[in-house]
Structure 1
Amino acid sequence: MNNINTRNLDLNLLVVFVTLWETQNVTRASERLALSQSAVSHALRRLRDRLSDELFVNGRGGLLPTPRAIELIGPVREALAQLDGALKGAAPFAPQYEQRKFRIAAGDIIEFLILPRLVAQIAHEAPNVIVEVLPYPQRNDISSLLENGEIDLIIGAPGPTSASLRQTPIISVPLLTLIWQKEGLTQERLPLNLYLERPHVMIEMHQRGENVIDDALRAQGLARRSGVLVQNFMAMPVIAEQTGYICNLPAQIAHVFAQTFNLSCHTPPLDFPAPELHAYWHNRFDTDQGLAWLLQKIRQSASGP
Structure 2
Amino acid sequence: MHNINIRTLDLNLLVVFITLWETQSVTRASERLALSQSAVSHALRRLRERLGDELFVLGRSGLVPTSRATVLIGPVREALEKIDQALQGDESFSPATAQRTFRIAAGDFVEFLILPKLLQHISLAAPGVVIEMVPLPEPATLPLMLESGAIDVMLNTPTALGAGVCCESLSTVQLQTLIWQREGLTAPRFPLDLYLERPHVVISMHERGGNIIDRTLAAQSLSRRIGAVVQNFMAMPIIAAQTGYICNLPSPIARTFAGVFNLSCHAPPFEFPEPELIACWHTRFDADEGLQWLRVQLKDCAVG
Give me the TM-score of the superposition, normalised by structure 2: 0.69
SS at match of 1:139: coil
CA distance in 2, matches of 1:209, 1:246: 14
Matches within 5 A, 1:120-135: 120-135=120-135
Cα drift, residue 175 of structure 1: 0.4
- Contact (CA 8 Å) 2:139, 2:161: kept in 1 or not? no
Q: Which residue is equivalent to 2:221? A: 221
- Contact (CA 8 Å) 1:202, 1:230: kept in 2 or not? yes
Cα drift, residue 205 of structure 1: 3.9
CA distance in 1, matches of 2:289, 2:96: 14
CA distance in 2, matches of 1:106, 1:238: 22
CA distance in 1, matches of 2:240, 2:279: 30
Q: Which residue is equivalent to 2:10? A: none
CA distance in 2, matches of 1:193, 1:248: 16
SS at match of 2:141: helix
CA deviation vs aligned residue, 1:73-116 (integer Å, no higher than 9, x gap): xxxxxxxxxxxxx6994232101111111000000001110000
CA deviation vs aligned residue, 1:237-262 (integer Å, no higher than 9, x gap): 00000000000011122111101110
**RMSD value, Cα:** 1.6
Cα drift, residue 268 of structure 1: 0.5
- Contact (CA 8 Å) 1:173, 1:252: kept in 2 or not? no
Matches within 5 A, 1:109-148: 109-148=109-148
CA distance in 2, matches of 1:222, 1:207: 20
- Contact (CA 8 Å) 1:158, 1:209: kept in 2 or not? no
Q: Would you say 1:104 and 2:140 are equivalent positions?
A: no
Cα drift, residue 190 of structure 1: 0.8
CA distance in 2, matches of 1:250, 1:209: 9
CA deviation vs aligned residue, 1:185-223 (integer Å, no higher than 9, x gap): 111111111000000010114464872111111111111
Unpaired runs of 5+ residues, structure 2, are 1-85
CA deviation vs aligned residue, 1:106-161 (integer Å, no higher than 9, x gap): 00001110000001111111111100111111011111000011000111111223
- Amino acid corresponding to residue 135 of structure 2 in structure 1: P
Q: Which residue is equivalent to 2:272? A: 272
Q: Would you say 1:231 and 2:231 are equivalent positions?
A: yes
CA distance in 2, matches of 1:209, 1:232: 12
- Contact (CA 8 Å) 2:98, 2:129: kept in 1 or not? yes
SS at match of 1:140: coil
The number of residues matched between the two structures is 219
Q: Which runs of 4+ in 1 moved over 4 A?
A: 206-210
Q: Which residue is equivalent to 2:249? A: 249
SS at match of 2:140: helix
SS at match of 1:274: coil
Matches within 5 A, 1:71-220: 89-206=89-206, 208=208, 211-220=211-220
CA distance in 1, matches of 2:101, 2:215: 38
- Contact (CA 8 Å) 2:158, 2:278: kept in 1 or not? yes
Distance 1:285 1:209, change over 3 A: farther
- Amino acid corresponding to residue 254 of structure 1 in structure 2: A
SS at match of 1:270: coil
Distance 1:209 1:291, change over 3 A: farther
- Larger-gyration structure (1/2): 1
- Contact (CA 8 Å) 2:106, 2:133: kept in 1 or not? yes
CA distance in 2, matches of 1:236, 1:275: 18
SS at match of 2:150: coil
- Contact (CA 8 Å) 2:103, 2:134: kept in 1 or not? yes
